[in-house]
Chain A
Amino acid sequence: MLPFGLHPLSLPRLAYLAGRGVRRFGPAVLRVIVLLAALLQLTPAPPRMLPYPPQAVETQHPVVCVHTRLTDEVEDLKIQRTLQLVREMGASTIVDFLPWAYIEGEKGQYDWHHPDRIINMARQEGIDVIVRLGLVPAWARPKPPAQETSLNYLTPDHFEDYAQFVGKFVEHYRGVVGKIIVWNEPNINMEWGYRASTPEEYVQMLKLVYAAAHEANPNIVILAGALAPTLEPEGSPNGLNDLAYLRRMYAAGAASYFDALAVHTYGFTDQPEAEPAPDRLNFRRFELLYAIMQENHDAAKPIYITESGWNDDPRWTKAVHSGQRVKYTLDSFKLIEQRWPTVKNLCIWYFRVPLPVLNYPDYFAFATTEFRLKPIYYAVQGYARGLAEQ
């Protein structure tokens, strides 16, 4: 009630009205403020990247390639920064892994958001992407608790699902992505979710994938293999050595179902020139795989070395000194360019990861998680772009 005897615009009257208003509307106003504050928190973060014109890679050595790990990178800015650094290093090609499980989380439902941003940003930088497709969605694996499986677990009854996915992928990126690696290191049981797989099974998968991919885009290049360099004998629970595996692939008719061979070849403690041998793992092991291609009259196909390099962890027994790592890496590029025209790319494992593991794998990196560039980056940049490094 308005106090008597007060002028309608007097201060006490206004204070009285304000107080009454607060009592009446205060809770509602407070709720609106809280709601607005909450909504503001939900708005997307402001963009942190400015648009810029498409770039081109300056390189004198197109064979130079690096394996990136952008799949688990959350922030666009970091994906872009990685690709900018790769371009500035002079690598015109990258290899990266795009998980089937992320894209086809529900059977027949495709979410292209994540691969789109990686592929689009790579195109913006003028970089070609060789894509490796793997990682099985939950719907294509046995249901727990009946059977607990790892994300790599795939049985032949779902090969057709994988092939259809690859076909969809190739169709979606027709004219953008030209090369697909089918699976990763199939000669290692871990890569099948610790299921004992066979080369014959892999060829069965390759056949389905090849047909689906070429139906979607006749120009697609299907890369098979990407075999792990290993000496595991027949019957080992861990896997099968890469040479025996490739021979059995050919025996099972693989030649008709791939366009190029993907190869993983690491130097370990040997220099790049070291002679290859069936019982030794070193850089030139890819020559033994090539010899098997020749045996099978398939040597006209190109080879892409999609993983390679040396490690300089001071405490890993398979590592070398940092200076040797730099020298061997540069020498390996020269060796490939001078003697192996059939090898189209030599991709070094790896550029950078979103999180370090604080163990020997970190010593493969060209850049730390915080984007601190290691000297090997400048060395490869100097080689690729013809710049004097030191």
Chain B
Amino acid sequence: MLALLCLILTAMFFYDWLLAQPFNDGTWDRVRKNGVLRIGMDASYPPFGNTPNGQPVGLDVDLANEIGRRLGVRIEIANMGFDGLYDALKTAQVDALISALSFNPTKGNVLYTQSYFDAGQILASRDGHIATMNDLEGLTVAVEYGSVADEVVRVWQRRLHLLKVSRFTTSDEALAAASAGKTDAALTDALTARLYLRSHQGLVLSPTQVTHDPYSVAVRTSSYDLGAAISGALRGMQQDGTLTKILSRWL
């Protein structure tokens, strides 16, 4: 009986150890040998990807090219529909996905790298004095009706003593209301807020976000080494300011 127990425990420890090992399916070796990194992308979501002249352009394209430059490989972009991205990765039609992808817990065997953009909710106010949701005590915030921001403020209405909410049909209208001083701040996703601020003056984004929705590069879990290399490249881009430059070019 004791021997059986020991055997089971040993098998369990071995299984855990096996699971904890980084996998290497040879993708990273092949990418280095061939000098080509194949990227799957749904280039129909500007400013991350778009095809105004037939060729993909956008933030994700610039990011992919910079990753390729740092890894010393050429980037080949396979433009495909969003529905096919993960299948293309799974069947090794591509080596990685760069397509404004949020973490997707239902996708098994996918490894997400360090994120390159946080599309979560962010506050915008006229002089930037609203830095957190707590600063909205007794004030009015503008949101797009029915949006994630609307859901967030409904939660905060229960946390604060008084939080007034003005709801608008679009996020741009909510931001415009904050800009015009009709409300004290607007809450919207960071992507919409940054795009709005590119063409409108008068609003400052809060330094920290209220919620988080990080966009990452996705690789197969069996391509652990490739994922680590891409994460390293993203980290380098973050440290030397290249990532900020790429984001600022499009957002």
Inside 8 A of B83's CB, which chain A residues have their CB?
A: 359
Of the candidates B44, B105, B146, B170, which one forms a contact with A374 in the assembled complex, judged by CB atoms under 8 Å apart?
B146
Label chain B's interface by main secondary structure. Answer: mixed
Query: Using an 8 Å CB-CB cutoff, how does the interface string of A285-323 with B read, 1 for contact, 0 for none?
Result: 000000000000000000000000000101101000111
Query: Using an 8 Å CB-CB cutoff, how does the interface string of B157-192 with A read, 1 for contact, 0 for none?
Result: 000000001011111010000000000000001010
Of the candidates B45, B82, B100, B170, which one forms a contact with A321 in the assembled complex, judged by CB atoms under 8 Å apart?
B170
- B151 near A327: Cβ-Cβ < 8 Å: no
- A375 near B150: Cβ-Cβ < 8 Å: yes
Alpha-carbon gap, A309 to B144, bound state (A): 18
Interface centre among B147, B154, B189 (most CB of A within 10 A): B147
Give residues of chain B (172-227) contacting chain A, Cβ–Cβ below 8 Å: 173, 189, 191
- Minimum CB distance partner of B155 in chain A: A372
Interface presence of A358 (CB below 8 A): yes
Interface presence of B145 (CB below 8 A): yes
If A323-B170, A390-B167 touch, whether A376 touches B146 (CB-CB below 8 Å) is yes
Alpha-carbon gap, A358 to B110, bound state (A): 14
Interface presence of B34 (CB below 8 A): no
- B169 near A323: Cβ-Cβ < 8 Å: yes
Inside 8 A of B168's CB, which chain A residues have their CB?
A: 323
Nearest-CB distance from B55 to chain A (Å)?
Answer: 19
- Minimum CB distance partner of A30 in chain B: B1
Alpha-carbon gap, A372 to B148, bound state (A): 11
Interface presence of A356 (CB below 8 A): yes
- B171 near A321: Cβ-Cβ < 8 Å: yes
Interface presence of B106 (CB below 8 A): yes
Give residues of chain A (216-231) contacting chain B, Cβ–Cβ below 8 Å: none
Alpha-carbon gap, A89 to B146, bound state (A): 16
Of the candidates A317, A324, A360, A375, which one forms a contact with B151 in the assembled complex, judged by CB atoms under 8 Å apart?
A375
- B106 near A327: Cβ-Cβ < 8 Å: no
Give residues of chain B (72-127) contacting chain A, Cβ–Cβ below 8 Å: 82-83, 100, 102, 104-107
Of the candidates B102, B104, B144, B165, which one forms a contact with A323 in the assembled complex, judged by CB atoms under 8 Å apart?
B144
- B170 near A375: Cβ-Cβ < 8 Å: no
- B144 near A321: Cβ-Cβ < 8 Å: yes
Nearest-CB distance from A221 to chain B (Å)?
Answer: 34
Inside 8 A of B100's CB, which chain A residues have their CB?
A: 315
- A322 near B106: Cβ-Cβ < 8 Å: no
- B44 near A323: Cβ-Cβ < 8 Å: no
Of the candidates B82, B165, B169, B170, which one forms a contact with A315 in the assembled complex, judged by CB atoms under 8 Å apart?
B82
Inside 8 A of B150's CB, which chain A residues have their CB?
A: 322, 375
Inside 8 A of A376's CB, which chain B residues have their CB?
A: 146
Of the candidates B44, B107, B147, B165, which one forms a contact with A322 in the assembled complex, judged by CB atoms under 8 Å apart?
B147
Alpha-carbon gap, A327 to B146, bound state (A): 9
Nearest-CB distance from A354 to chain B (Å)?
Answer: 12
Interface presence of A70 (CB below 8 A): no
Inside 8 A of A390's CB, which chain B residues have their CB?
A: 145, 165, 167
- Minimum CB distance partner of B42 in chain A: A315
Inside 8 A of A327's CB, which chain B residues have their CB?
A: 145, 169
Alpha-carbon gap, A386 to B204, bound state (A): 39
- A323 near B167: Cβ-Cβ < 8 Å: yes
Inside 8 A of B171's CB, which chain A residues have their CB?
A: 321
Interface centre among B105, B170, B173, B189 (most CB of A within 10 A): B170
Alpha-carbon gap, A19 to B10, bound state (A): 31
Q: A375-B147, A375-B154 are in contact. List 6 more A-B contacts (CB 8 A).
A: A322-B145, A323-B145, A323-B170, A357-B106, A358-B102, A358-B104
Q: List 19 A-B contacts (CB under 8 A).
A: A314-B191, A315-B45, A315-B82, A315-B100, A321-B147, A323-B144, A323-B147, A326-B145, A326-B146, A327-B169, A355-B106, A358-B106, A358-B107, A359-B82, A376-B146, A379-B145, A379-B146, A390-B145, A390-B165
Query: Nearest 9 CB-CB pairs, A to B?
Result: A322-B146, A323-B169, A323-B145, A322-B147, A326-B146, A375-B146, A375-B150, A315-B45, A358-B104
